[in-house]
Amino acid sequence: MWQISLTSTAGKVEAEGSVSPMPPGGQQGQHQLASHRQWEEVQFSGESPPTCCNFPVACARDSMFVFSGQTGAEVTNSLFQFHFVSRTWTRISTELVLRDCPNPPMRRYGHSMVAYDRFLYVFGGAADNILPNELHCFDLEDETWSLVTPAAGSSVPSGRLFHAATVVGDALYLVSRNHLEL
């Protein structure tokens, strides 16, 4: 995992600890990183997610969450939390027998995940040769999964793969040019 600081001064560029006017040719509102900004590898402890692809991340409560993904031929439904302050990874248990809670989403890849209030929401992706269109909710306080039931008569988007999602205000938006059939 890597990090870089994106801090800048609006309309100005920091360089070597000083602030100077934007260089000639720079446009108002243009964002530039100071010359001393460098990428650095983040040292961490704990149980980190396996190397995988096609997974989303969402940030909430000083943490980054990673749900599922694809590792070669293996697809999982694991949820991991990275706490930024302690730089520690934790696998969040979703074992049903031990927790006596609703089922977590099926293993999947190519799905979206967003954070809102005390919840993470997961939509779509590919799960065992199907494109589910259910909206799953993970409660960060109770550490339990639930399925969000749409209002009667509402239109539900079809399942989709490799799309994006974001939250604006209290609304979740899905963005996809098209959906793929499996």
- Residue 182 pLDDT: 46
- Residue 54 pLDDT: 79
Task: Tell me, yes or no, whether 182 lies in a domain.
Answer: no
Mean pLDDT of the 99-111 span: 78
pTM of the predicted protein model = 0.77
Count up the domains in the chain and report the number: 2
Q: Are residues 50 and 38 in the same domain?
A: no
What is residue 125's three-state secondary structure? coil
Dist. CA 24–CA 166, nearest whole Å: 36
Q: Is the pLDDT of residue 19 over 50?
A: no
Residue 52 sits at the vertex; the CA angle it makes with 49 and 55, to the nearest 5 degrees, is 90
Q: Are residues 19 and 100 in the same domain?
A: no
Mean pLDDT of the 100-126 span: 88
For residues 164 and 37, the model is more confident at 164
For residues 7 and 92, the model is more confident at 92
> What are the backbone dihedrals phi and psi of residue 27, each rounded to the nearest 5 degrees, phi first?
-95, 150
Confidence at 61, pLDDT banded by 50, 70, 90: very high
Task: Tell me, yes or no, whether 52 lies in a domain.
Answer: yes
For residues 15 and 33, the model is more confident at 33
Find out whether 104 and 92 touch, Cβ atoms under 8 Å: no
For residues 26 and 59, the model is more confident at 59
Task: Tell me, yes or no, whether 12 lies in a domain.
Answer: yes
- Residue 21 pLDDT: 46
Q: Which domain holds residue 127?
A: 45-175
Q: Are residues 70 and 91 in the same domain?
A: yes
pLDDT per residue as tens digits for the range 70-79: 777 777 788 9
- Residue 106 pLDDT: 85
For residues 105 and 6, the model is more confident at 105
